[in-house]
Amino acid sequence: MIYGISGNTKKEKLWAPVAHLVTWLLKRDLPFSLHQNVARGLIERSLVDRDICDRFCTDDVAATSDIILSFGGDGTFLKSAHDVGTRGTPILGVNIGRLGFLAGIEVGQVSETIDRIEKGDYWIESRMTLEASLQSDVPLQKNWALNEFVIERSGSAKLISIDVLVDGTPLNTYWADGLIIATPTGSTAYSLAAGGPILAPGCGAMILTPISPHMLTVRPIVLPESSVIEAQIPADHESYVLAADGQSTILQEEEIKLTIRRAAHTINLVRLPEQHYFHTLRTKLMWGVRHTK
C-alpha cells in the first residue's frame, strides 16, 4: 500500500503530525508519496531532510498512491477529491480543522489507522457526485461537485431569479439570493446552513435548497438521483456565479441554460469498521448532549 500525503499548507497545525508520519513510515519501511507543496513546507521548516522530500515528492499524489491521507478540514478534503477526480483513489480525511464531516479520523489516530489498513481492517464508502454542463462556450472552473453546485448573485444586492425544470417539467422560479443543488454528502455543508435537510450518504438523492428565498412558501426539496435539473437565469439579470464545491465561475452571458445531473464517477472514502454516519452527526452537531449548569 502506497500512502499519499497531502494537506492544507496554510495551517500551521499540519506540519508536526505530517513530519511525525513521514518519520514513522520510514521506520516501518512503508512506501509513501508527498505532495510537492507539503514536501516544500517540510523542507522550509527543517522538519524532514531535503533528500527524503525530494525522493518522495510528487505533483500528483492520486497517480502515485493507493490511499491518500488528506490533512485538514472539509475544504481540504474537497480539494483532494478534485485532485483525484475520476481515478477513484480512496481518501482518508485526517481532521486538523474545526467541524470535519468528511474526515475519517482525528490527527492523533493516524499511525494506529495505518496499522489497521495494513491488516485490511477498513472499508471503502462511495459517495455520489454531480456534474454540470452549460449551453455556452464559457469554461467552468469545475464541472463536477462532491458537495454542491451553487448559483448565486455576483456583486449585487439584488435578488436573482432562477427558472428551474426537473426532467423537463417546470418546478419553480426561485426569487432568492441563490440556489444550492447538493448531494447527500453536501447536505451537511452549505445546504444545511441555508435550512436544507440532512441526508444519509447512502440516499440516492439530490437536494434543491434556496438561499434566503423571497417567498416564505419556498422550501428545500429532495429529488431522486436520476433527476435532470435545468436552471436558467432570465436575460434581464446582471452577472452571476456558478460555484462547484466553492470553485467559482462568473457568468455574464444572457439566458445560459445550466444542466445538472448525477455524475458517472464516485469519490471513495476510507472508513474503519466501527465508524458510522450517525456517530459523526452526534459528535459534530452535539446531538444528545445535556447542558448542565
Q: Which residues share a beta bridge with 222?
A: 207
Name the nearest CA neighbour of 66 among 40, 92, 95: 92
Residues that are catalytic: 74
Name the nearest CA neighbour of 26 among 59, 58, 3: 3
| Percent of the chain as helix, strand, coil, to the nearest 5 | 25, 35, 40
Name the nearest CA neighbour of 269 among 115, 111, 116, 104: 104
Q: How far is CA 83 from CA 40, 48, 70, 230, in A?
A: 18, 24, 11, 27
Task: Kindly state the cell numbers that stand for 99.
Answer: 467541524
Alpha carbon distance 121, 226 (integer Å):
33
Which amino acid type is present at position 119? Answer: K
Alpha carbon distance 259, 133 (integer Å):
5
Alpha carbon distance 246, 141 (integer Å):
10
Alpha carbon distance 94, 70 (integer Å):
6
